[in-house]
Amino acid sequence: MSKLKRGLIVSCQAVKGEPLYGLNIMQYFAKAAVLGGASGIRANYTSDIIAVKNEVNVPVIGIIKEVYEDSDVYITPTIKEVEELLKTGCEVIALDATARPRPNGEKLENLVSYIRKNSPQTEIMADCSTFEEAKAADKLGFDYIGSTMRGYTEYTKGISIPDYGFLKKMKSELNAKIIAEGGIWEISQLDAVLECDPYAVVIGSSITRPMDITKRFAKEFEKWKI
Amino acid sequence: MSKLKRGLIVSCQAVKGEPLYGLNIMQYFAKAAVLGGASGIRANYTSDIIAVKNEVNVPVIGIIKEVYEDSDVYITPTIKEVEELLKTGCEVIALDATARPRPNGEKLENLVSYIRKNSPQTEIMADCSTFEEAKAADKLGFDYIGSTMRGYTEYTKGISIPDYGFLKKMKSELNAKIIAEGGIWEISQLDAVLECDPYAVVIGSSITRPMDITKRFAKEFEKWKI
């Protein structure tokens, strides 16, 4: 998907529990993002993915976030989510590619095979948190490997993101196209990420989560001398 | 309106021509902003102001942006906009308080008198671009004086904002409560604004204009070496 090369992909999501969930407005964020220069959109839930695809003409990376009782994996965790995503026709399917056990004992490699077999034109992206996970995803033949989960798994909690060393290591040692995703709030962080020369960059919350953006600013007021 | 003191006011606007205009969704941005810690909301157009007031319980600063052929003033320019705003019941009405001629030969002091006479409980905010305009607004008895128009009038174009010197001068020499508004994108800018000890701070585009936020990030990609 060369349209994504050296491009900004904007993640437009509102998950259950967030104030913008269920309002059917993510496609408007996508429209605004594309008008702002986005080369691609990352979206969650089939309804939002379909609405986004109807609104804009850039590639869409689709995911379905679903929490299962028996697993910490929630980004496109099982075959059920994969099948739903394939129906949307999104250009890329992203999946959690951490080493953690998936629900129902399912295996990442089976999800990969299923997509390759049933929809060879659909590209796949691996959301990783460590270099070992990225290397394993590379062996599975993922088209893209993302830093998405770094800082969000139990064993990477507290790591400062974006992790530029992690991005550079993946870029220099792996075959897949590296996508920098996670933790970009300020221009200086984006500039440092671009220095790592990823294939593309995903930015989400700092563009499309007004509650989170507000929280980050509001925090500074707590320090304001009385 | 002491609820605004030392608080973050989030401006939730989509003007004609912007991608989120006319979608009736500004109240959801307001809801997200309040959940994120906003003490007040600034909103434009009576429909959005009413929708915001129905959605959140914080004070609302209302404006109506209307372009008239015979004037550069567009923020609550005439008595017509003032009357419409008074019907919404918003707690504060903000008006352009620059020295530029208003449409129809109308005068700022008449708009101020009208509001004081017909709705003494409604507070008023002066959107200024220079210290002289702020001083004149102070003499007119405005409750709040904002830096809103600095950088946006012909004679202040190119001034780097936020202008901390401007904020400090207003704070130290005027009676009205000073509201810092305009140009806040990064934490370091907000921190420097808070050092000026304004009464409150308005942040808009960097929270509620996803197209503009995207544009600002996308610009960095142009520098990305090929």
pLDDT greater than 60 at residue B104:
yes
Cβ distance of B194 and A35 shorter than 8 Å: no
Residue B184 touches partner A, C-beta closer than 8 Å: yes
Share of chain B above pLDDT 70, in %: 99
The whole-number pLDDT of residue A2 equals 81
Distance from CA of B91 to the nearest CA of A (A): 22
Q: What are the strands, taking DSSP E only, across chain A?
A: 7-12, 40-44, 60-63, 92-96, 123-127, 144-146, 177-181, 200-203
The chain A residue lying nearest B24, using CA atoms, is: A25
Question: Considering chain A, what is the average pLDDT of its residues?
Answer: 97
Q: Is the dihedral of CA B217, B218, B220, B224 positive or negative?
A: positive
Which one-letter DSSP state was computed for residue B125?
E
The alpha carbon of B209 is separated from its chain's Cα centroid by a whole number of angstroms, namely 14
pLDDT in tens, A31-57: 999 999 999 999 999 999 999 999 999
The whole-number pLDDT of residue A225 equals 63
pLDDT greater than 80 at residue B98:
yes
The whole-number pLDDT of residue A226 equals 57
pLDDT greater than 90 at residue B194:
yes
The whole-number pLDDT of residue A131 equals 98
The whole-number pLDDT of residue A177 equals 98
pLDDT band at A66 (very low <50, low <70, confident <90, very high): very high
Residue with tokens 């008198």: B113
pLDDT greater than 70 at residue A165:
yes
Distance from CA of B86 to the nearest CA of A (A): 28
In whole angstroms, give the CA distance from residue A13 to residue A21: 8
The whole-number pLDDT of residue B225 equals 63
pLDDT greater than 60 at residue B226:
no
Cβ neighbours of B6 (radius 10 Å): 17
pLDDT in tens, B136-153: 999 999 999 999 999 999
Residue B6 touches partner A, C-beta closer than 8 Å: yes
The whole-number pLDDT of residue B2 equals 81
pLDDT greater than 90 at residue A157:
yes
Are A96 and A77 in contact by the 8 Å Cβ rule? The answer is yes
Query: Does the predicted interface ipTM exceed a cut of 0.95?
Result: yes
Q: What H or E segment, with its residue span, contains residue B178? A: strand B177-181
Contact residues for B13 (Cβ-Cβ < 8 A; gap 6+): B26, B42, B43, B44, B48, B65, B204, B208, B209
pLDDT band at B132 (very low <50, low <70, confident <90, very high): very high
Give how far Cα B121 sits from Cα of A82, B3, B40, B92, Å.
58, 15, 17, 9
Contact residues for A148 (Cβ-Cβ < 8 A; gap 6+): A75, A94, A127, A128, A129, A179, A181, A182, A202
Which of B25, B206, B224 lies at the smallest CB-CB distance from A25?
Answer: B25
pLDDT in tens, A125-140: 999 999 999 999 999 9
Give how far Cα B88 sits from Cα of A46, B54, B80, B83, B225, Å.
38, 11, 13, 9, 52
pLDDT in tens, A167-199: 999 999 999 999 999 999 999 999 999 999 999
Residue B71 touches partner A, C-beta closer than 8 Å: no
pLDDT in tens, A82-133: 999 999 999 999 999 999 999 999 999 999 999 999 999 999 999 999 999 9
Chain B interface, best mutation among A221, A223, A226, by max B CB count within 10 A? A221
pLDDT greater than 90 at residue A224:
no
pLDDT greater than 80 at residue B1:
no
CA-only gyration radius of chain B, Å: 17
Which of A6, A184, A211 lies at the smallest CB-CB distance from B32?
Answer: A211
Residue A222 touches partner B, C-beta closer than 8 Å: no
Cβ distance of A28 and B20 shorter than 8 Å: yes
The whole-number pLDDT of residue A116 equals 98
Chain B interface, best mutation among A217, A223, A224, by max B CB count within 10 A? A217
**Chain A residues inside the 8 Å CB shell of B183:** none
Are B212 and A36 in contact by the 8 Å Cβ rule? The answer is yes
Cβ distance of A209 and B33 shorter than 8 Å: no
**Chain B residues inside the 8 Å CB shell of A217:** 8, 37, 184, 187, 190, 203, 207
The whole-number pLDDT of residue A65 equals 97
Q: How far apart are the first and last CA of chain A?
A: 53
Q: Which of A173, A174, A177 is nearest to A146 (CA)?
A: A177
Q: Which of A82, A66, A77, A60 is nearest to A12 (CA)?
A: A60
Residue A217 touches partner B, C-beta closer than 8 Å: yes
The whole-number pLDDT of residue A223 equals 85
The whole-number pLDDT of residue B224 equals 85
Q: What is the dihedral of CA A176, A178, A181, A186, to 10 degrees?
A: 180
Lowest pLDDT segment from A15-19, A140-144, A208-212, B172-176 = A15-19
CA-only gyration radius of chain A, Å: 17
For A98, the token pair is 């951490």
